[in-house]
Amino acid sequence: MDVGTSGGKITAMIKGIIFDLFGVISSEVAPFWFWKHFSEEKYNELKNEYTKPLDLGLISQSEYFAKLAGISKTSPNIVRDKFFSYVEINNDVIDLIKELKKKFKIALCSNASGSFVREILKKHRLEDLFDVTVISSDLGATKPDKKVYQETLDRLGLLPTEVILIEDNPKNIEGGEAVGIKGILFKSADKLRESLFSEIKNS
């Protein structure tokens, strides 16, 4: 990987990369489930009522599945199984992270339930990819709250100018930029590779 070197030594100021999970490393999950049962307009309403408390750690994953089972007239186990069926890992992004990990600290920063994320990471053998894992339900705050980005930086032991944030949500990019973190809006693994290496070389 050519990321701007001199005599074999990294000259870039960038020392860490922060990755979002859903929409970047994995497919989205909750939106797909809601769209299957409700209109997109209704989803926005239900997201605030059901998913936001989960992401903030105010309810457990099992309580969340039970609530969704109630509004969809099914069972919590069926909801749970459906959620996991929507998880599709982007292997091109995983390959990129493995490449980056050789020279940079890698963080995962996700608005989600800690138990759900950890089960996904374990199932797909992704735990060792990340030096730092920050999940909103564990922290009691969600992106774009500055607290989430600062916690991630603190755990990485890096300054805002030393990391790049990879996100699929423009609002979360703005949240990172508010604390001085350069963000890249994720579109595809190929475009990310091009944009990321350009940023690293020019840092």
E strands in 58-174: 105-110, 132-135, 163-167
Q: Which two tokens stand for residue 132?
A: 């730092």
CATH architecture of the domain formed by 5-27+89-202 = 3-Layer(aba) Sandwich (3.40)
Q: Start-end ranges of CATH 3.40.50.1000 in the chain?
A: 5-27+89-202
pTM above 0.75, yes or no: yes
203 three-class SS: coil
101-139 pLDDT, tens per residue? 999 999 999 999 999 999 999 999 999 999 999 999 999
Low-confidence ranges of the chain (pLDDT < 50): 1-11
For residue 40, the model assigns a pLDDT of 86
For residue 7, the model assigns a pLDDT of 37
Q: Please identify which residue in the block is written with the tokens 């199932």.
A: 123
